[in-house]
Amino acid sequence: MTVLILAEHDGQKLRTATRQAVSAAQAFGLPVTLLLFGADLRAVAEEAARVTGVSEVKRIEAPHLAHVLPEDVAPTLAELARDARALVAAHTPFAKNILPRVAALLDVAMLSDVVQIEACGRYVRPIYAGNLLATVENPEPVQLVTVRATAFAAAGDGGSADVESLAAPAPNAGLAEWKGESLAVSGRPDLASARVVVSGGRSLASADQFDALLGPLAGRLDAALGATRAAIDEGIAPNDWQVGQTGSVVAPELYIAIGVSGAVQHLAGMKDSKVIVAINRDPDAPIFQVADYGLVADLFDTVPKLSAALA
Ligand SMILES: Cc1cc2nc3c(=O)[nH]c(=O)nc-3n(C[C@H](O)[C@H](O)[C@H](O)COP(=O)(O)OP(=O)(O)OC[C@H]3O[C@@H](n4cnc5c(N)ncnc54)[C@H](O)[C@@H]3O)c2cc1C
């Protein structure tokens, strides 16, 4: 029996979250097989084979897999998972789109956003917007699990796994078709794996002010930008910057929350950050309860001074 990991990559490199899923999967005490879907997997397969803790890499490539559609890959994953003990992936939009379909095809329950694997079938996961941790048991014959990547260290290099090519599934064009994407190009680090995150709330009032105030600060600190859901709902920041229960969960070395109230749904996405700094003009804002350093101040006055001091 093996543990399969659905790998996520950009065609060139594995996402850090996949290396974190590899670390998580060691708790099963079984050989780990990394599954790669894509169009040209040469570079990614070489990297995957080097990841410590991976025993085998299965490479499944075809031109139509350049953009992995859940409709295309879920049946193949279900077939592979039938003979495995577990199918694990990082809890990212990529896997959240695919694993529930695999669970449905296998007619098993899946567990999402697991922060600790105590044993095969016994997991710890947050509930109530991260306010409680529940230990849950899953008796299914195949364990389908997504793990909160930030709860696990990223597996490094040092392995030398075998790489095997498998036949690719046919395009399932009747169900779904890739039409295109529009990607925001940014020189900033990826939010999920950035060492520093600067986040802003609704108080920044407009997208222009958000960029003008937080952009320079993020630039000085080589930080990713994050935002609250309220800021996103009001069009102040783009959707993929949302940090929180229904956004990204991040745990950077430094998280700077600017004009962020600290609602539980936001805290669920950032409270595991190593050092939290909050700037808010309301001394009773809940964000100060989790902040290591807090400054009660008007952000429009303070943030430009902070950016200037870091220049
Ligand atoms: C099911 C569900 C899921 C949710 N998921 C998420 C999620 O994933 N992420 C998320 O963030 N939220 C989420 N929310 C929303 C969440 O409950 C809050 O509404 C949201 O986080 C508030 O955002 P905010 O702090 O920007 O806005 P507000 O609550 O309006 O707070 C603004 C803060 O800015 C401060 N402020 C105002 N002006 C200034 C100034 N000039 N200088 C300094 N400080 C100032 C105020 O004192 C206040 O604390 C969710 C809600 C629900 C119901």
Would you say residue 235 has pLDDT above 80?
yes
Residue intervals in the chain for CATH 3.40.50.620: 2-166
pLDDT in tens, 183-197: 777 789 989 889 999
pLDDT of residue 304: 97
- Protein residue with least CA distance to atom 8, ligand 1: 244
Annotated binding-site residue? 201:
no
Q: Which CATH architecture has domain 196-310?
A: 3-Layer(aba) Sandwich (3.40)
Find the 252 Cα to ligand 1 centroid distance in Å: 20
pTM: 0.84
d(CA 171, CA 177): 9
Please state which CATH class domain 2-166 belongs to.
alpha beta
Q: Which residues line ligand 1 (CB under 6 A)?
A: 201-203, 228-231, 242-247, 259-261, 263, 265-266, 269, 280-282, 285, 298-300
- Protein residue with least CA distance to atom 28, ligand 1: 261
Residue intervals in the chain for CATH 3.40.50.1220: 196-310
Annotated binding-site residue? 259:
yes
- Protein residue with least CA distance to atom 45, ligand 1: 259
Q: 61 pLDDT band (50/70/90 cuts)?
A: very high
Q: What is the mean pLDDT of residues 88-112?
A: 96
Annotated binding-site residue? 16:
no
pLDDT in tens, 105-150: 999 999 999 999 999 999 999 998 788 999 999 999 999 999 999 8
Q: What is the mean pLDDT of residues 230-234?
A: 98
